Amino acid sequence: MGWFLGMGFGSYGWNKQWSGNAGKDIANPQLFIDMATSLERAGFDYMMMEDSSVIPDTYRGTLDESLRAGIIRMDPMPLIPLLAERTSKLGIIATAATTFYPPFLAARLFNTLDHLTHGRVGVNLVTASPDAAAQNYGYDKHFEHDQRYLMADEWVRAVKSLWDTWEPGSLLLDEATNTFADPSKVHHANFEGEFYRTRGPLNTVPSPQGHPIICQAGGSPAGMAFGAKHADTILASVDGPAAMRKYREDVHARMILEGRDPSEVKIMFLVDPILADTDDEADERRRRRDAVAVGAVDAALMRMSYISGLDWSKFDLDAEIPDITGQHNGHQSVVDDFIKASKGKILRDALAGQRRGTESVDMWGSPATVAAKMDEVMQEAGGDGFLIALPVTRKNITEVCDGLAPELRKRGLIRDGYEFDTFRENLFAF
């Protein structure tokens, strides 16, 4: 089990019910520290913080809607040691855009964070999509989608070459012979690629995990190929158990072609469960949520504008979605899936029927009902587990960690302890 923090180290439900003391929680680490300790108590494998470098302004060409909604994100990297200091086993993953992090900077940063967390850090690799993000780093526009993944593949190879500049057994710390490290086991990387070059070696000592955990999310063919080649854990959003099974089989087949054992990756499917004391109460919550979603046209248009890089305010709400094939450079699988599901519908109706989040399966009910549904879906779909994608509020944290998790544990679906100290060891032990 993991938790996907969709706004990273940011704001959740600004000024809405159950958002807590919103004014004092903004940029305050305590909410996330409370979350981390709760997740560890509940037996979760990791928490993963999404990130972005922009305040979205594609929709209507302004920042207005984003600023009204409080769509901000603080840098997650400095938060990691604070979360690690209050936990001892939970894996902590932060997002880095391969396009904007030089390989040496990233290799050194995550090596250092792995030491500060005692071997519990991971990096979620994204290529980013908005032109505005690229412009924040000095580019006129972002690179084309598939080229971004070619660059990311080379980026990972460069970073791993730097992590490997200190071979096993290189760190001696031999006081008797006054030898800190074995010079014969520390070497330059001398990585030369089409997009990246780096000399090395790292001026850090080897990571406690060897390599920090690599996480990845990608539904396009290029993204799936990248994950199959490099990821230790993959987060996926596909619609329903049959599609979940197909996705898993596809990734495993790609892994085999790369010479990897499919057991070397944990595929986690996003879910956004609605929990309540009884099934009837949860169903009423679901109806209220869906009613709000139907009326939230601006929010849905803003989301589609952000993930596609196109301004959807220009589309006629009472006409079918125009053919935008080949016109967007954003999250291709998400946009393409929405277009496919919207065929024959006017845009207004398509948005009303849009899934509230990015969950693979709708789930609602009491904790016992939702736990049983998770078990049923996983038996049908295969896979390794789920990523909770609920907004980070103390109410949601409590309902999942103190309601759902105990029910999962009764069924043997979630760990009741951690066998090892490092994230990598624990991730693959259960």
**Structural domains of the chain in order of their starting residue, each with its CATH number:** 2-278+359-427 (3.20.20.30), 280-352 (no CATH)
How many CB atoms are located within 10 Å of the residue 174 CB? Answer: 11
Q: Higher model confidence: residue 341 or residue 395?
A: 395
Residue 355 has pLDDT above 60, yes or no: no
How many CB atoms are located within 10 Å of the residue 257 CB? Answer: 11
Given this model, what pLDDT does residue 300 score? Answer: 84
Residue with tokens 């080949």: 326
3-state SS, residue 185: helix
Structure tokens at 396: 């949601």
Q: How far apart are CA 72 and CA 12, in angstroms?
A: 9
Q: How confident is the model over 260-270, as pLDDT tens digits?
A: 999 999 999 99
Backbone conformation region of residue 61, classed left if phi is above 0, alpha if psi is from -120 to 50, else beta:
left
Given this model, what pLDDT does residue 356 score? Answer: 45
pLDDT (average), residues 7-19: 88
Given this model, what pLDDT does residue 412 score? Answer: 96
How close are the terminal C-alpha atoms of the chain, in Å? Answer: 10
pLDDT (average), residues 168-196: 98
Of all residues in the chain, what percent carry a pLDDT higher than 70?
96
How confident is residue 353, by pLDDT bands cut at 50, 70 and 90? low
Mean pLDDT for all residues in the chain: 92
- Spatial contact of 329 and 278, defined as CB atoms under 8 Å apart: no
93-103 core/surface letters (b: 16 or more CB in 10 A; e: else): bbbbbbbbbeb
Given this model, what pLDDT does residue 240 score? Answer: 93
- Spatial contact of 79 and 35, defined as CB atoms under 8 Å apart: no
How confident is residue 88, by pLDDT bands cut at 50, 70 and 90? very high
Residue 281 CB contacts under 8 Å (≥ 6 apart), including other chains:
none
How confident is residue 358, by pLDDT bands cut at 50, 70 and 90? low
- Spatial contact of 305 and 54, defined as CB atoms under 8 Å apart: no
The helix-helix angle for 241-257 and 367-381 (nearest 10°) equals 50
| 299 half-sphere exposure, CB direction, 13 A CA radius | 15
Residue 362 has pLDDT above 80, yes or no: yes
Given this model, what pLDDT does residue 228 score? Answer: 97
Q: How confident is the model over 143-161, as pLDDT tens digits?
A: 998 899 999 999 999 999 9
Structure tokens at 134: 């690229």
Given this model, what pLDDT does residue 329 score? Answer: 66
**Would you give the distance in Å from CA 140 to the centre of its chain?**
27
Which DSSP category does 281 fall into? H
Given this model, what pLDDT does residue 295 score? Answer: 57
Cα→Cα distances 399→163, 246, 285, Å: 40, 31, 14
Amino acid residing at 414: I
Given this model, what pLDDT does residue 293 score? Answer: 66
pLDDT (average), residues 236-248: 94
